[in-house]
């Protein structure tokens, strides 16, 4: 970019000498192409990073503030024993 600025300043100092103008235009076109390519690549990288971030964030559980339902721990030995004793007492219709 410095070369283009110097060439344009030389053109201002000597407006009759336009010999460097085609070279400056070519350099600026190359610069524009490079800048456009870099911008596109940067946007693709940003999009990929955003997608990766969304995927990682989706793996984090969110606390909604509601209490979790109690876990069903099944029947304990004591509860099963009590039910068995009650069933044995009820045999024959006696309570």
Q: Give the closest residue to 55 by CA, choosing from 43, 47, 63, 44.
A: 47
Residue 53 placed within a domain: yes
Residue 80 placed within a domain: no
Residue 83 placed within a domain: no
Sequence-ordered list of residues with C-beta below 8 angstroms from that of 75, at least 6 positions apart, any chain? 83
Q: pLDDT value at position 2?
A: 87
Instruction: Please tell me the least confidently modeled range out of 57-61, 72-76, 85-89.
Output: 72-76
- How many domains are contained in the chain? 1
Residue 66 placed within a domain: no
pLDDT per residue as tens digits for the range 3-33: 888 888 888 888 888 888 898 899 999 999 9
Q: pLDDT value at position 94?
A: 54
Residue 81 placed within a domain: no
């Amino acid at each position: 970019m410095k070369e283009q600025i110097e060439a344009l300043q030389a053109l201002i100092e000597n407006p009759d000498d336009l010999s460097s103008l085609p070279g400056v235009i070519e350099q600026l076109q190359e610069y524009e192409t490079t800048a456009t390519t870099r911008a596109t690549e940067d946007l693709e990288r940003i999009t990929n990073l955003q997608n990766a971030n969304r995927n990682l964030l989706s793996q984090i559980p969110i606390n909604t503030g509601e209490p979790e339902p109690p876990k069903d721990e099944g029947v304990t030995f004591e509860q099963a024993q009590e039910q068995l004793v009650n069933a044995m007492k009820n045999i024959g219709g006696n309570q």
